[in-house]
Structure 1
């Protein structure tokens, strides 16, 4: 009763009230910033780091003839012959000269990943001949081949032709982009 009496006293003392005239409020849409796929980026970096190892010995998988070459099981040797002849046009290249082993491994993995995303098929990887290395021995040459053999996107590679880098580079053929089977075969050059 006391609270009701206080409320009545308050209303009598204040008198008539009218709501304030407030202009209508504009409702602004909230545009959150685009999400950053932090976990996806971290996962990709972890996969890249773990994907290719220095401990892998590719010699068991390489064909040794006048030049070293590699062809994934199930892919015709004709693919390597066409690659050697230059039937595929090199669409991108990376030069690993002067890079340390770890830096070169990450750069190569990133280069292959980006090339796959962009739908490229034929790449050149310049690893050098090792003339600037201690003992004039190529460090990256063997490592690049070992790393390439471990990448599932790589279906074949061979030493570049003399005017394309010779013993200091390899030409790499990647899996074709996902296209209907009737439009392109695995060994079809571009």
Structure 2
């Protein structure tokens, strides 16, 4: 017999066969809400991804003392602008409290807040990092890292320890550079017609 004859005889034998009706015996996983364990695992993965992507150092830091002033100014920032920041003369548009946060949470919160503020056009914010006299593994642990992280961020052009009424040695004023959209709006606003 040839293969065509085999195929034909097979089809003839199968002509009266009806397919079985199979009832669904599986549960569609998308219709069930994720379990607590799945949700926590997903959140941990998302958090780790954000931590890995932000570029803020986790390595060695130069410790600062709990009662030290911290300050920084990029080249090109005018002295008058920096003096006004130092004296707390700028309106504080946003505030971030890092006290009582763990290292990873503080790092992630700082990065996300600075990034979001810059994108929204916020120029001045206050970061409350705390003095950290009793922090571990050394005093002023988070304060030391905030000092380093702010210097690593491109959007930050200056910062200085806050005045007493805004948190003193446990807080810092941060000045962000203008977002490109702000520069364009200012250019259009002040353009002579």
Question: Would you call these one fold, judging by a TM-score over 0.5?
Answer: yes
Unaligned runs of 5+ in 1: 1-41, 60-65, 185-190
CA-based RMSD: 2.8
Q: Number of aligned residue pairs: give it.
A: 136
Question: Structure 2 residue aligned with 1:51, among 55, 66, 74?
Answer: 55
TM-score w.r.t. the length of structure 2 is 0.61
Taking a change above 3 Å as real, the CA distance of residues 183 and 90 of structure 1, as seen in their structure-2 partners, is farther
TM-fit CA distance, 1:102: 1.2
Shift of residue 163, structure 1, vs aligned partner: 0.7
Give the structure 2 partner of residue 114 of structure 1: 116
1:61-95 Cα shifts (integer Å, max 9, x gaps) = xxxxx833101122223222110122211011010
Q: Deviations over 1:83-132 (max 9, x none)?
A: 01222110110100111111100010001111112211000001001134
C-alpha separation between the residues in 2 aligned to 1:70 and 1:161? Answer: 16
Question: Pick from 76, 79, 83: which aligns with 2:78?
Answer: 76
The answer to whether the 8 Å contact 2:123/2:176 transfers is yes
Superposed structure 1 runs of 4+ greater than 4 Å apart: 45-48, 56-59, 181-184
Range with bigger deviation, 126-135 or 155-164: 126-135
Asked which structure has the greater CA Rg, the reply is 1
Q: Secondary structure at the match of 2:178?
A: coil
Which structure shows the bigger proportion of residues in helix conformation? 2
So what's the TM-score if we normalise by structure 1? 0.62
